[in-house]
Amino acid sequence: MEIKIGESIKALIFDVDGTLADSMPVHMETWELLGNKYGFQYTQEELERYAGRSGQEIVEIINEKNGLQLDPDKVAHEKEEAFLENLDRVKPIAPVIRVLEDNCGVLPIAAGTGGFRSVATKILKSVGVWNKIDTLVGSDDVIHHKPAPDTFLKCAEELGVEPKDCLVFEDADLGFRAARNAGMHLIDVRPYYMEGFETEEVESKGH
């Protein structure tokens, strides 16, 4: 199955984790490691539900659920440092990488992520596309994170393209909502690399 881009699209915006990089299993293992250290459980369902939120926001959710008082900044940075120790295990998601590479130099390209800019930079370098994007927006570049539209709107602003002319590639519900809230076109990338995965609405336009 091939990912097709409409003729009206003037810019592409890619999420990073789970879209360009098959990094979610390593993120899961890292949260489990911290859970063993600090006394909380973080499930696969929670990983999927909160994908796109900043690390600090996830730690705040963990605190509320478990009656803990973990420092969100400290634990979020500790989590990302542990993740980077296993960066070599993160592989590119070929069908999505191919779209990015095919359009490099043809359309403006951005990456918009709920992760730290520094970590996303390392991931993009690891999967070989860092020099193929025009701008990166991380969690430390905006105040309101996904599902707020700010991440993708900042991408569009930095690319100099109207939101309505942007196409977002995403894999998670919060990212889908962020793209729609930004009034952008959207492609759910999961059917293109997850065997047997089906979705009723692959591409849609935000309102």
**How many domains are contained in the chain?**
2
User: Taking all residues of the chain, what is their mean pLDDT, rounded to a whole number?
Assistant: 93
pLDDT at residue 205 tops 70 = no
pLDDT at residue 42 tops 80 = yes
153 with 196, same domain: the answer is yes
Q: What is the pLDDT of residue 194?
A: 81
Q: What is the pLDDT of residue 136?
A: 98
Choosing from 87, 105, 130, the residue where a domain stops is 87
Out of 15, 22, 171, 188, pick the active-site residue.
15
Distance CA 145, CA 143 (A): 6
The parent domain of residue 135 ranges over 11-23+90-205
Structure tokens at 21: 């990089």
Q: What is the pLDDT of residue 197?
A: 56
114 with 170, same domain: the answer is yes
Distance CA 26, CA 135 (A): 25
138 with 66, same domain: the answer is no
Q: Is 141 part of the annotated catalytic residue set?
A: no
**pLDDT tens figures, 152-186:** 999 999 999 999 999 999 999 999 999 999 999 99
pTM recorded for the entire structure: 0.89
CATH code, 66: 1.10.150.240
Q: What is the pLDDT of residue 193?
A: 86
CATH code, 173: 3.40.50.1000
161 with 191, same domain: the answer is yes
110 with 190, same domain: the answer is yes
pLDDT at residue 204 tops 80 = no
For residue 5, tell me if it sits in a domain: no
15 with 55, same domain: the answer is no
Q: What pairing do the DSSP bridges indicate for beta strands 135-137 and 109-112?
A: parallel
pLDDT at residue 199 tops 70 = no
Q: Alpha carbon of 194 to those of 58, 76, 95, 171, 197: distances in Å?
A: 25, 28, 11, 11, 6
95 with 196, same domain: the answer is yes
Beta bridge partners of 21: 17, 92
70 with 165, same domain: the answer is no
Neighbouring C-beta atoms of residue 138, cutoff 10 Å: 22
53 with 122, same domain: the answer is no
